Structure 1
């Protein structure tokens, strides 16, 4: 193929475009529909985000949920500015670092190439659980900007949990990928496995309807719908979570829960060409995004954005930005880590926007279920380096360093909300898609479909196989280069979701190969694909 990529691709997922109505793009189409229904009922982007956050925690329980953490970017049309909210996880103030001795047997078994800890206590099991932040974050956003009653926004998630998650081919594949680890926890095995060994599945016919029993989760969500954040951090749910985590050998106290608070801040305002990219500051990928985009601006001119030389400059910029991140922020997540997060983006009819990323960290988090609440537990402790004396060493009452990178972008004529799941691959994807939108004026669908590279650590640059030819030849002259396919499972690159507003026209889409994700417009509006 030529050095520039074609706007057509072998596989396409048409996005949605709506005039004067809102759009939700999420990794699960049913969650996107829930958000769009909230918009149609008069809710704004934050109301829809509340509904999507809880619904997708039911529909993708291995990716996120109330026991996770993350961050969001918001754009408010009334004050014409961006807002950043960080609700990342923290280690417990009661955490005993001595409980995590190094095994002396090599590297850890999951996302991060830390030195291995005895029994993988920082990776799986209740001892890997950190203080959760998602519930506090989405509650804070609703308290500041929401319009609709909290209980109405959680009702769809309660209904979904009562019905139980249908285990289709994709859900069965995801469960099978972690079945061995899930079998170690009786409550996780009971929820996801048959006979403690095989993933629940729907048999050989499309008409079979095997469902997970999420009734305990439904009860918890119902209580949250009535009592809100107070129940989760100070009341009955908090007591149950503390009891379950402690009984299973972890560190979590009522004081940890009571003390947790999300952080509002002014966003990073990153100048890029004629645009501004707003990102979450602090212990996220926002500062690394700023570093990479700064390097790109001096590495090539925007009129050359589709050339092989620009791809080489992007790889150089990403590699240099990650060298700085790894040296100074302490994040050493493997670039080969699977996607284990969820992201959704929302724009309402008035132009308010939300880009929200939430995660349990690993897929299925700690591989442990809280029996009292039915919630999947995070493994946020794995975000810390178990070796002492490092920038991100494990310690009590410490914030976790995350790879999440939700952004709001502004050009002279358009605004977009964007983010992705996929560990360390998130920031390179967000940067490149933003670049396509800003430098080449692509639509959100075109920008997400466009082939990307990943250069998020280590010597190797990974390129979409559609770039084979002049682009990969140029990359190979500078770096070890490998080709990868974009597949439904596993993802070789991040899994993005974005929305855009131009005038009063909104649009949105998700990763082309995501089997569940899609963009959805408000019901009863004239949408066209």
Structure 2
């Protein structure tokens, strides 16, 4: 009987994963169920109208990444320039400027990606899987500490514009706090509809029409054709080696896996030195801004970034089973649009408004193209058979969080918990220049401006990792996740 390790964004999600395992679900069923639960039960951090990536490997299955990321809307729209959004400034991190509202919503791909993975490697009936999640959220889920902290850092600027959303998160004008029950009207019914009718009800069907109509009434430009034409895409994972370990991560056109690969290459000589981490980030992030962030051809830009580097609101889940499966997923809805279209309960992303990722101007976007993503769900394998699935939320901090964790795990003493919990650094670029964010417990030598953070600051991501040989898992205390080891 296999032993399964689950690392999830919250205890609620981890317990749901254990329930799926006990009902005979495969490792991929668990990944799908937990990731779906995470998108709907971390309000502000993520939402049902999300997008993301799953990286999966198993017996006879070379690592593959399923691209279910968000796409530019507007196919068949008579005036895509008419989208309406609102710019807000939150206290999150060092201050975050983003655009919200219906006009900031991109085409969601998470449900399509989940179904793509399930259709090949799932055992549990799709309807049962979706109903299981629907029943759990209908009963109410506890507000997570990560969602609480995010909402307290400016969530009222986003999540009080739509009264249906405000009534859930700010009843009577007061924010729900950690542990209080959250119930989102209409969400359970929408998930059951997707379970019974399949994803087609969202991607061009009745549910999709309700979402589109709800967004259009508030300045959104997503069309039913956007949803009907959307497809999750398989991409052979980007592979590499780091100190004798093989890894597989998110390939182009996403930028996260390429960035992670380049950082690992540049810290391999001094993998435990924080100054090495800073130097690598300064080089690689600089190349990313020059070659990728404004590039219309991100596949070509990714190749040029790797060549050049060699010359000188997100949720994450990881599952590992000792029958050989390792799988990681990362899902994002940006900072959230604050919009619940119609009575669907399908709260939507604001990924068109993620200004730190979308550096190209709006008139350069092409409807249907994938937006840039820094996500990098990754699986690793050592020469002695140890396998690890690792992922993290954290917007532009994702790759630095994962790279530092991998370096500490592989080059250190192999302790998964210590690798995840170790203090981190992140090189942050803005229009005025660059600075180094340093978590308490680290000292770095740099000529750049340094900003010090408190210990275990959620700004630095929330790594989740699950492993076999031995079977273990850990969820970053920066986001108070949930971990379970079960035998079925």
State the TM bucket, normalised to the shorter chain. 0.7 to 0.9
- Aligned residue for 1:5? none
Match of 1:498 among 450, 458, 465: 465
Deviation at 1:98, TM superposition (A): 3.3
CA distance in 2: counterparts of 1:178 and 1:170, whole angstroms? 12
Instruction: Go from structure 1 to structure 2 and tell me whether the alpha carbon gap of 1:417 and 1:326 turns closer, same or farther (over 3 Å shift).
Output: same
Instruction: Go from structure 1 to structure 2 and tell me whether the alpha carbon gap of 1:72 and 1:386 turns closer, same or farther (over 3 Å shift).
Output: closer
- Aligned residue for 2:69? 88
- Aligned residue for 1:375? 346
CA distance in 1: counterparts of 2:200 and 2:427, whole angstroms? 42
C-alpha contact 1:58 1:157 (8 A) present in aligned 2: no
- Aligned residue for 1:254? 224
- Aligned residue for 2:436? 461
Match of 1:164 among 119, 140, 148: 140
CA distance in 1: counterparts of 2:36 and 2:211, whole angstroms? 18
C-alpha contact 1:182 1:189 (8 A) present in aligned 2: yes
Pairwise CA RMSD of aligned residues?
3.0
How do 1:351-362 residues align onto structure 2 when only pairs under 5 Å count? 351-362=324-335
- Aligned residue for 1:213? 183
Is 1:72 the counterpart of 2:54? The answer is: yes
Match of 1:409 among 364, 380, 387: 380
Deviation at 1:36, TM superposition (A): 2.1
How do 1:387-402 residues align onto structure 2 when only pairs under 5 Å count? 393-402=364-373
Is 1:198 the counterpart of 2:189? The answer is: no
SS in 2 for 1:135: helix
**Residue range with higher mean Cα deviation, 70-79 or 56-65:** 56-65
CA distance in 1: counterparts of 2:76 and 2:89, whole angstroms? 25
- Aligned residue for 1:328? 291
Deviation at 1:348, TM superposition (A): 2.0
Deviation at 1:429, TM superposition (A): 0.8
Q: TM-score, normalised by structure 1?
A: 0.80
Deviation at 1:91, TM superposition (A): 1.1
Is 1:513 the counterpart of 2:478? The answer is: yes
C-alpha contact 2:16 2:33 (8 A) present in aligned 1: yes
Instruction: Go from structure 1 to structure 2 and tell me whether the alpha carbon gap of 1:389 and 1:68 turns closer, same or farther (over 3 Å shift).
Output: closer
CA distance in 2: counterparts of 1:387 and 1:169, whole angstroms? 28
CA distance in 2: counterparts of 1:252 and 1:148, whole angstroms? 32
C-alpha contact 1:188 1:369 (8 A) present in aligned 2: yes
CA distance in 2: counterparts of 1:102 and 1:252, whole angstroms? 13
Instruction: Go from structure 1 to structure 2 and tell me whether the alpha carbon gap of 1:111 and 1:153 turns closer, same or farther (over 3 Å shift).
Output: farther
Instruction: Go from structure 1 to structure 2 and tell me whether the alpha carbon gap of 1:387 and 1:145 turns closer, same or farther (over 3 Å shift).
Output: closer
C-alpha contact 2:40 2:48 (8 A) present in aligned 1: no
Match of 1:313 among 276, 287, 297: 276
C-alpha contact 2:64 2:236 (8 A) present in aligned 1: yes
How do 1:33-112 residues align onto structure 2 when only pairs under 5 Å count? 33-79=15-61, 81-92=62-73, 93-94=75-76, 96=79, 98-99=81-82, 109=89
Match of 2:267 among 285, 290, 296: 296
Instruction: Go from structure 1 to structure 2 and tell me whether the alpha carbon gap of 1:169 and 1:466 turns closer, same or farther (over 3 Å shift).
Output: closer
SS in 1 for 2:141: coil
Q: What does the per-residue CA deviation read over 1:170-225, in whole Å, with 9 as the maximum and x for residues that have no partner?
A: 65554444123322222212222223x322459xxxxxx85333231111111112
Instruction: Go from structure 1 to structure 2 and tell me whether the alpha carbon gap of 1:168 and 1:420 turns closer, same or farther (over 3 Å shift).
Output: closer
CA distance in 2: counterparts of 1:411 and 1:149, whole angstroms? 34
Is 1:485 the counterpart of 2:457? The answer is: no
- Aligned residue for 1:181? 158
Q: TM-score, normalised by structure 2?
A: 0.86
Match of 1:445 among 382, 407, 417: 417
Deviation at 1:366, TM superposition (A): 0.4
SS in 1 for 2:458: coil
SS in 2 for 1:233: coil
Is 1:127 the counterpart of 2:103? The answer is: yes
Q: What does the per-residue CA deviation read over 1:230-258, in whole Å, with 9 as the maximum and x for residues that have no partner?
A: 11112221111111111111011111111
Q: What does the per-residue CA deviation read over 1:346-393, in whole Å, with 9 as the maximum and x for residues that have no partner?
A: 01231211100011111xx10111232111111121246899976994
Where do 5+ consecutive residues of structure 1 fail to align?
Answer: 1-18, 203-208, 333-339
Instruction: Go from structure 1 to structure 2 and tell me whether the alpha carbon gap of 1:254 and 1:391 turns closer, same or farther (over 3 Å shift).
Output: closer
Deviation at 1:167, TM superposition (A): 4.5
C-alpha contact 2:213 2:342 (8 A) present in aligned 1: no
C-alpha contact 2:392 2:463 (8 A) present in aligned 1: yes
CA distance in 1: counterparts of 2:91 and 2:105, whole angstroms? 15
